[in-house]
Amino acid sequence: MIMRYAGLSRLRKNLPVQCAIDAPAPEGTGETVLGLVAGEIVLRPTGRTIMAQGQVAVTVELACARCLRPHPVKLDVLVARECCLMQIDDPEAYRERDDDLPPIPILSGDEIDLSELVRQLIILHTPPRSLCRPDCKGLCDQCGADLNEGPCGCQQQGVDPRLAPLKSLLKET
């Protein structure tokens, strides 16, 4: 489902357009999205460009950085991004300017399409590292067992031989 809205004539008359979002996430976010993207974005003409302001919320499923279990992470994203009245599939719309990032194009035919804006927001606000819980013990570095389920039974090795010289520094102090 694409996030499309009428209201192009209002933007061209320099009037704001309010877009209530309650739709599936656009494809291409790189993550599994749980549920719908919900929120509200107001588009305000600012001369040459359109300012998109508002807030959206979405829940994505991420793998824990320690134990690799999938877990839900809720993203609450404040929106403040410059957009332009160009077609989404027009390569000229994505050309970088010298001073800043190019505005995101929001037109699909004669409709306002916020799917590319929302897709980029989800990508930018997804944390690169996430934990399923703060006290996650992770995986055993010997056998790969999940240490949250209990000890694995591997013999605990002493200090890594590459770090053994550092242990002598602790004894000296």
Distances (CA, A) of 36 to 13, 42, 54, 65, 147: 31, 19, 17, 25, 33
Instruction: Please give the pLDDT value at position 75.
Output: 95
Q: What is the pLDDT of residue 98?
A: 60
pLDDT at 173: 59
pTM: 0.78
Amino acid at 77: V
Q: How far apart are CA 107 and CA 15, in angstroms?
A: 16
Banded model confidence at residue 80, pLDDT cuts 50, 70, 90? very high
What pLDDT does 92 receive?
A: 73
Amino acid letter, residue 7: G
The answer to whether residue 53 scores a pLDDT higher than 50 is: yes
Average pLDDT estimate for 120-140: 93
